[in-house]
């Protein structure tokens, strides 16, 4: 029977006067409940929307800084490549000028009047005003006699091959040339020939390089096609005497397209500012998200404090003090401390760019502006949607309240006899379910997900109660998965579990999985030599990189134990290729550590290596601990074996040791060699162990031959053919170079030759 049908049945039994009084009381109580229900849901919606805006803003700020820093590094590398081209040209020119002039009749290219269009496929070399050698040309300044500089020109003709190589390898290189102090220029022209009156000594790039006495950069200028170009120049001295200036013209058009490719960001403006605060190049987002850039000559470039009404000036000021970062501004362009004060402002990101000369350099600055509205737009849409739902809920409750009042009035007019107790029962029957619903919603809004409504009636209140129960169940599962696994799993795996909770099994379960242990080599001595703060920073940097490798292969991070890492694959999400994932994570660990070591050496920090043990087998997985503290972990003999294998690397001088089960599970995805038949410490049954070498197809053929020679020697060793085994391992050493495993096995073969093993020897080594 429906809710209102129940009410009509009760109202028919009540006297009209008590019904009116109690009906009014019921309406008043419903109004209070309506206010409380709407207030609770509105507060929950505001908190959810605010948290979403803050999280979205923080993530976007991090992404802005990453993109800006990446573009800044690319620009530094671009300038550095151009500087090195000029430096190499300077060295080649100096060496050529120091060498004796080529003798007539030699194969060294000399200048001639012949056209070289067939070599260069360039119409510019058809000009009769040029005298050319292979891939090079020269021009004499007005008043300079050929006889005076002919010797230097002949020696500089050797630069042709370097010019041809440079223009082939660097498509952004416009011209590469040497201006002589004696009044000539030698280079590789890629546009119209030099005019008759051209004198390099009168050019700004020449005079600036001579004045500074070192590598110099011109301002970014526009060529005849209105395209941005920059010139790098360096004086050429021999014995303290100025011989000329080595220079290169570099087209920046294609690189600027890359520099202002900000498709990852919702940005609207970006600019490149020089050390004087001039906006040399600025870009604005067009419809569709692509940026269109423009540039200015130095004398026309606007100041960053005035351009775009100074919206990016705070970022420029910050970049003068810090290398990179981000900040918030309000609608007037002033920095503000938090998102609440910047609803109509901007998110600014910046990074410094160091343009090097040979020994010095200057800073430029890369700035990006994104309106805050674009950053948190999705979160604001969620807030708007929640507000609409709130309004719809209020309207629905109001309609139901009006309908209820109307029905009471009809019932009062039609009812002749009033029963006080029956009317009271009817009012309570209507208010109690709504009160329970309101209380349940308040508890959910306060973060209590243990709410469960037991109203199983088939009326409207029962339907709403069941809907609330379903909602609480979904929220509880999502919060549980995130709180339980966000420390252990990659974000992609957590998202899978939230979308499909049926894949999650937390009870103790015996399952075939792969477990991984890693440890730093020489950590004790390292900790004794380093200051505690620096040691912690170094370990955190190391553990961050190692964890990223594990999460990249969607592994579960079990725990950190000091410098050691434990992880496993195959739970909570079933992964059929868990052995392969663990092997790839171990190889990526080693690769990332090598990159870290190169960086640490530059910073004067000590370096170290790691040992890794991986085993595949059945193990118990589940939540272990007390109700106050639980850990999702694995237990069992297979886990202990992986730990022992990590330690056994010391015996053979290896870095990654895997079991036979892991080797079979990884299959053709990796390369490995069999090391030994090993009885691990504390175990009674021996297992075959392998050294993980690398990804399939990435090991040089010569080393593959060495590893296969090792395995052939191992077979002879197990057959007690000691001489053959020793010779095989020596052959492996010749192919591999240093290989502690081969050296260890040679010593064992020599020992058994002198003292043969017992008749029941099975080839097992007891660690």
Over residues 668-727, the pLDDT tens digits come to 999 999 999 999 988 889 999 999 999 999 999 999 999 999 999 999 999 999 999 999
State the pLDDT at residue 129: 38
Of 695, 723, 755, the last residue of a domain is 695
Helix axes 420-445, 16-98, angle to 10 degrees: 10
510 and 598 both lie in a single domain: yes
Q: Does the pLDDT at position 136 exceed 70? A: yes
383 and 287 both lie in a single domain: no
CA 364/CA 76 separation, integer angstroms: 10
Over residues 256-283, the pLDDT tens digits come to 878 888 878 888 888 888 888 888 888 8
358 and 326 both lie in a single domain: yes
State the pLDDT at residue 175: 85
Residue 518 forms part of a structural domain: yes
Of 320, 341, 375, the last residue of a domain is 375
With CA atoms as reference, report the closest residue to 32 among 436, 424, 438.
438
Q: Give 221's pLDDT tier (boundaries 50, 70, 90).
A: confident
CA 348/CA 345 separation, integer angstroms: 10
CA 132/CA 97 separation, integer angstroms: 18
State the pLDDT at residue 112: 43
Q: Give 765's pLDDT tier (boundaries 50, 70, 90).
A: very high
Q: Does the pLDDT at position 594 exceed 50? A: yes
Considering the chain, what percentage of its residues have pLDDT values greater than 90?
Answer: 34
Name the least confident of 458-462, 546-550, 607-611, 757-761. Answer: 458-462
Residue bearing the bigger pLDDT, 425 or 755: 755
CA 676/CA 763 separation, integer angstroms: 8
Q: Does the pLDDT at position 535 exceed 50? A: yes
State the pLDDT at residue 55: 76
How far does Cα 70 stand from its chain's mean position? 11
State the pLDDT at residue 80: 87
Q: Does the pLDDT at position 128 exceed 50? A: no
556 and 676 both lie in a single domain: yes
Residue bearing the bigger pLDDT, 413 or 610: 610
Of 231, 253, 275, the last residue of a domain is 253
DSSP H or E stretch at residue 766: strand 764-766
- Write out the E strands in 181-320: 184-188, 216-217, 221-222, 228-238, 241-251, 269-273, 279-285, 291-295
Task: Compute the average pLDDT of residues 755-767.
Answer: 92
Residue bearing the bigger pLDDT, 426 or 514: 514
Q: Which residues of 208-234 are buried (b: 16+ CB within 10 A; e: fewer)?
A: bbbeeeebbbbbbbeeeeeebbbbbbb
Over residues 365-413, the pLDDT tens digits come to 888 888 877 777 665 666 667 667 667 766 777 777 777 777 777 876 7
Average pLDDT, the chain: 80
With CA atoms as reference, report the closest residue to 250 among 451, 40, 81, 20.
81
Q: Give 102's pLDDT tier (boundaries 50, 70, 90).
A: low
Residue 631 forms part of a structural domain: yes
Name the least confident of 188-202, 271-285, 461-475, 591-605. Answer: 461-475
Q: Does the pLDDT at position 113 exceed 80? A: no
Domain count, the chain: 5
654 and 542 both lie in a single domain: yes
State the pLDDT at residue 124: 43
Residue 197 forms part of a structural domain: yes
Task: Compute the average pLDDT of residues 728-735.
Answer: 96
Q: Is 279 left (phi over 0), alpha (psi -120 to 50) or beta?
A: beta
Q: Does pTM surpass 0.75?
A: no
Name the least confident of 78-92, 118-132, 143-157, 521-535. Answer: 118-132
Task: Compute the average pLDDT of residues 157-165.
Answer: 78
State the pLDDT at residue 178: 93
Residue 82 forms part of a structural domain: no
CA 325/CA 345 separation, integer angstroms: 17
Q: Which residues, listed in sequence order, are joined to residue 635 by a DSSP beta bridge?
A: 620
118 and 228 both lie in a single domain: yes
Residue 710 forms part of a structural domain: yes
State the pLDDT at residue 180: 93
Residue bearing the bigger pLDDT, 330 or 9: 330
With CA atoms as reference, report the closest residue to 554 among 620, 612, 631, 492.
492
State the pLDDT at residue 443: 67
Q: Is the peptide bond before 572 cis (omega within 30 degrees of 0)?
A: yes
543 and 673 both lie in a single domain: yes
514 and 660 both lie in a single domain: yes
Over residues 448-477, the pLDDT tens digits come to 656 666 765 666 666 666 666 666 555 555
Residue 498 forms part of a structural domain: no
Task: Compute the average pLDDT of residues 145-158.
Answer: 86
245 and 287 both lie in a single domain: no
Tokens of 170: 């660097």
State the pLDDT at residue 417: 60
Task: Compute the average pLDDT of residues 352-369.
Answer: 78
Residue 494 forms part of a structural domain: no
Q: Which residues, listed in sequence order, are joined to residue 230 by a DSSP beta bridge?
A: 250
Tokens of 718: 């197990």
Q: What is the DSSP letter of 603?
A: T
Residue 118 forms part of a structural domain: yes
| CATH code of residue 671 | 3.30.70.1230
Q: Are 119 and 132 in contact (CB under 8 A)?
A: no
With CA atoms as reference, report the closest residue to 219 among 355, 367, 318, 368.
355
Over residues 33-66, the pLDDT tens digits come to 667 766 776 676 667 667 767 777 788 788 888 8
State the pLDDT at residue 657: 98
745 and 649 both lie in a single domain: no
Q: Does the pLDDT at position 744 exceed 90? A: yes
| CATH code of residue 167 | 3.30.450.20
Beta strand pairing call for 279-285 and 291-295: antiparallel
State the pLDDT at residue 116: 40
Q: Does the pLDDT at position 170 exceed 70? A: yes
111 and 248 both lie in a single domain: yes
Q: Which residues, listed in sequence order, are joined to residue 633 by a DSSP beta bridge?
A: 622
Which residues constitute the domain of residue 20? 3-74+378-480
| CATH code of residue 304 | 3.30.450
State the pLDDT at residue 753: 96
State the pLDDT at residue 219: 81
Q: Does the pLDDT at position 27 exceed 90? A: no
45 and 156 both lie in a single domain: no
Residue bearing the bigger pLDDT, 150 or 50: 150
Q: Which residues, listed in sequence order, are joined to residue 348 by a DSSP beta bridge?
A: 327, 369
Task: Compute the average pLDDT of residues 629-654.
Answer: 94
């Amino acid at each position: 029977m429906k809710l209102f049908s129940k009410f009509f049945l009760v109202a028919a039994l009540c006297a009209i006067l008590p019904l009116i009084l109690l009906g009014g009381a019921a309406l008043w109580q419903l109004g209070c409940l309506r206010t409380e229900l709407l207030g609770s849901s509105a507060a929950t919606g505001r908190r959810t929307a605010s948290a979403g805006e803050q999280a979205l803003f923080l993530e976007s700020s991090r992404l802005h800084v990453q993109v800006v820093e990446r573009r800044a590094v690319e620009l530094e590398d671009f300038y550095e490549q151009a500087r090195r081209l000029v430096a190499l040209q300077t060295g080649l020119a100096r060496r050529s000028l120091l060498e004796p002039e080529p003798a007539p009749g030699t194969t060294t290219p000399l200048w001639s009047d012949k056209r070289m269009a067939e070599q260069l496929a360039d119409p510019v070399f058809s000009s009769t005003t040029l005298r050319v050698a292979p891939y090079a040309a020269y021009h004499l300044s007005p008043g300079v006699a050929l006889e005076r500089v002919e010797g230097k020109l002949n020696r500089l003709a050797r630069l042709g091959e370097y010019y041809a190589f440079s223009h082939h390898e660097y498509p952004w290189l416009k011209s590469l040339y040497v201006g002589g102090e004696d009044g000539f220029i030698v280079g590789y022209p890629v546009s119209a020939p030099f005019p008759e009156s051209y004198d390099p000594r009168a050019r700004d790039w020449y005079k600036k390089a001579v004045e500074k006495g070192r590598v110099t950069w011109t301002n970014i200028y526009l060529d005849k096609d209105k395209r941005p170009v920059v010139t790098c120049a360096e004086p050429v001295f021999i014995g303290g005497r100025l011989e000329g200036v080595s220079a290169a013209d570099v087209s920046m058009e294609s690189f600027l397209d890359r520099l202002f490719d900000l498709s990852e960001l919702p940005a609207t403006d970006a600019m490149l500012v020089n050390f004087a605060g001039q906006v040399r190049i600025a870009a604005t987002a067009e419809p569709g998200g692509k940026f269109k850039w423009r540039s200015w000559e130095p004398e026309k470039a606007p100041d960053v404090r005035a351009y775009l009404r100074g919206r990016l000036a705070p970022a420029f000021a910050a970049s003068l003090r810090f290398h990179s970062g981000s900040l918030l501004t309000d609608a007037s362009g002033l920095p503000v401390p938090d998102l609440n004060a910047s609803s109509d402002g901007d998110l600014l990101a910046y990074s410094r760019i160091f343009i090097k000369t040979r020994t010095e350099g200057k800073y430029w600055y890369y700035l990006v502006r994104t309106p805050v509205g674009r950053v948190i737009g999705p979160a604001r849409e969620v807030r708007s949607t929640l507000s609409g739902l709130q309004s719809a809920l209020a309207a629905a409750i109001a309609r139901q309240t009006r309908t209820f009042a109307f029905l009471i009035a009809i019932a009062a007019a039609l009812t002749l006899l009033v029963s006080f107790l029956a009317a009271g029962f009817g009012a309570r029957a209507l208010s109690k379910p709504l009160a329970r619903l309101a209380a349940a919603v308040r508890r959910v809004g306060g973060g209590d997900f243990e709410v469960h409504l037991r109203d199983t009636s088939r009326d409207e209140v029962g339907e709403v109660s069941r809907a609330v129960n379903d909602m609480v169940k979904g929220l509880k599962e999502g919060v549980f998965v995130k709180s339980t696994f966000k420390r252990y799993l990659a974000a992609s795996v957590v998202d899978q579990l939230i979308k499909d909770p049926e894949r999650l099994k937390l009870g103790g379960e015996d399952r075939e999985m792969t477990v991984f242990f890693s440890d730093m080599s020489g950590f004790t001595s390292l900790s004794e030599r380093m200051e505690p703060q620096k040691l912690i920073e170094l370990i955190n940097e190391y553990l961050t990189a190692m964890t990223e490798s594990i999460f990249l292969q969607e592994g579960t991070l079990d725990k950190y134990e000091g410098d050691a890492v434990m992880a496993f694959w195959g739970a909570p999400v079933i992964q059929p290729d868990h052995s392969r994932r663990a092997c790839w994570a171990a190889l990526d660990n080693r690769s990332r550590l090598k990159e870290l070591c190169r960086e640490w050496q530059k910073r004067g920090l000590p370096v170290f290596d790691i040992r890794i043990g991986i085993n595949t087998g059945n193990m118990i997985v589940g939540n272990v601990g007390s109700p106050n503290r639980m850990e999702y972990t694995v237990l069992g003999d297979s886990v202990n074996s992986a730990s022992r294998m990590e330690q056994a690397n010391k015996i053979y001088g290896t870095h990654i040791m895997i079991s036979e089960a892991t080797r079979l599970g990884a299959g053709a995805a990796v390369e490995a060699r069999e090391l030994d038949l090993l009885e691990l410490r504390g175990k009674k049954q021996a297992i075959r162990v392998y050294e993980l070498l690398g990804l399939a197809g990435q090991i040089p053929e010569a080393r593959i031959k060495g590893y296969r020679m090792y395995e052939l020697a191992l077979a002879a060793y197990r057959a007690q053919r000691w001489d053959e085994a020793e010779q095989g391992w020596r052959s492996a050493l010749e192919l591999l170079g240093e290989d502690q495993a081969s050296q260890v096995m040679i010593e064992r073969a020599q020992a058994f030759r002198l003292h043969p093993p017992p008749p029941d020897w099975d080839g097992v080594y007891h660690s």
